Amino acid sequence: MKDVRLFDTGFSAGEGLARFAQAVPDAGGIVSFVGKVRAEQDVKALELSHYEPLTLPGMEALADRALERWALDGLMIWHRVGIMQPGAPIVLVSAGARHRRDAFEAVDFAMDHLKSDAWFWKRERRSDGWHWIEPRGQDHNDLSRWDILTEQD
């Protein structure tokens, strides 16, 4: 079971989680991550832009890699694009598995790759206008964990 979507309007994380739980009734464990626009001082809005011909196929390929690498009953990746207010959900990733370790690692893997390796560009609107958010070093460290694990497989 694979459910990969891009939304250009808001989605309900609660409804997504409930839908996923129903779709994987035999999973003994479900790990989920919900990411929201942080309510930071002076951030009025966040815009996530993307290049659709790469973004959605990239998310599908990411889901396929996770489904191949871990023993999962299902994987859901929902991602917002467009302009969002603080507190709005940006991303929802859920994995259901027989063993919780598989579900944890699959969600962690998907989030690391969505954050650093997916075709999204972010900018924030502050009182003095829009500001692009640059790549972060931590994300590349997060990603490289998986490469090391791959070499050891």
User: Which residues of this protein are in contact with other proteins, per CB under 8 A?
Assistant: 49, 51, 53-54, 57, 99-100, 115-123, 132-136, 138-139
3 binds, among other proteins, a copy of itself, none (CB under 5 to 8 A by kind): none
Return the structure tokens found at 149.
């694990």
CB closer to a copy of itself, 39 vs 148: 39
51 binds, among a copy of itself, other proteins, none (CB under 5 to 8 A by kind): other proteins
Fill in the per-residue mask, 5 to 34: x = in contact with a copy of itself (CB under 8 A), - = not in contact: --------xx--xx--x---xxxxxxxxxx
User: SS in 3 state form for the chain?
Assistant: CEEEEEECCCCCHHHHHHHHHHHCCCCCEEEEEEEECCCCCCCCEEEEEECHHHHHHHHHHHHHHHHHHCCEEEEEEEEECEEECCCCEEEEEEEEECCHHHHHHHHHHHHHHHHHHCCEEEEEEECCEEEECCCCHHHHHHHHHHHHHHHHC
33 binds, among a copy of itself, other proteins, none (CB under 5 to 8 A by kind): a copy of itself
The binder of a copy of itself chosen from 66, 81, 107, 110 (CB under 8 A): 107
Least separation in angstroms between CB 13 and a copy of itself: 7
- CA separation for the pair 1, 74 (Å, rounded): 4
Enumerate binding residues for a copy of itself (CB under 8 A): 13-14, 17-18, 21, 25-39, 87, 98, 100-101, 103-104, 107-108, 111, 142
